[in-house]
Structure 1
Amino acid sequence: GGRSAVCPVVALEAAPDDVTPLAEVGAWAAHGEELLTWG
């Protein structure tokens, strides 16, 4: 078990159309790589 290393908590307050994923679900991400945009 364990927790995900990435938790975009700030996006929980956004409307669904305001958040655009930049990475595919399950894809590997490099340190500092953007995973989503908001706004």
Structure 2
Amino acid sequence: MSGAAITTVEALESMVGITLAGVTRFLKEGLDKDYKENLY
């Protein structure tokens, strides 16, 4: 039981981590793009 719970938590953490990394990268690229467009 505890083994399955740990595996589930690790799977969720890896999924959330990947999602957060993707969102962060997406937002950063979007902000950089907006910033450069406004700058020039």
**TM class, shorter-length:** under 0.3
Q: Which has the higher helix share?
A: 2
Question: Which structure is larger by alpha-carbon Rg, 1 or 2?
Answer: 2
Give the TM-score normalised by structure 1. 0.17
Q: Which has the higher strand share?
A: 1
